[in-house]
Amino acid sequence: MTDTPTRIEVDCATGEQKVIPLTAAEIAELDQMRAKAEEERAAREAEEQAKAAAKAAAEAKLAALGLTAEEIAALSK
C-alpha cells in the first residue's frame, strides 16, 4: 500500500499551514497529467531519435559519394 500523496497549503492571510492529502479527484487528475507528460516525453524522444537517424543516414550517403568526414561536418555548420 502506498502513502496518499499530500500537498502543503499556506494561507498567507492567517499564516495557517496545512498538510492536505490529495483527494481522489486530485489523484486522478495527477495520474492523467502524468500520462500526458509521459506521452509528451516519449514523443520528444522519438522525434529526437528520428532526427538523429536521418542525420546519420544522410551522412552515410554523403560518405558513400566520396565526401570526407571534414567535408560532411562543414555542410552541417
Partner 1 sequence: MAITYDALSTVVVGSGGVTSIDFTSIPQTYTDLLIMLSSRTDGSGNFNVQLNNTTSGYSQVRLGGTGSGTYSNTSTGQSGNSGNSFLAGISGGSSNTSNVFGNAYIYVNNYTSSNNKTLEADSNQENNSTASYSELFAGVWSNTAAVTSVKLLTYDTGGKFVQYTTATLYGIKKS
Q: Which residue has the cell 500520462?
A: 35
Q: Residue count at the site for partner 1 (CB under 8 A)? A: 23
What are the grid coordinates assigned to 44, written together?
A: 520528444
Q: Which residue has the cell 532526427?
A: 51
Q: Which of 33, 52, 58, 60 binds partner 1 (CB under 8 A)?
A: 33
Q: Does 45 bind partner 1 (CB under 8 A)?
A: no
User: What's the rounded Cα separation, in Å, for the pair 13 and 55?
Assistant: 57
Q: Which of 1, 19, 25, 64 binds partner 1 (CB under 8 A)?
A: 19
Q: Does 6 bind partner 1 (CB under 8 A)?
A: yes
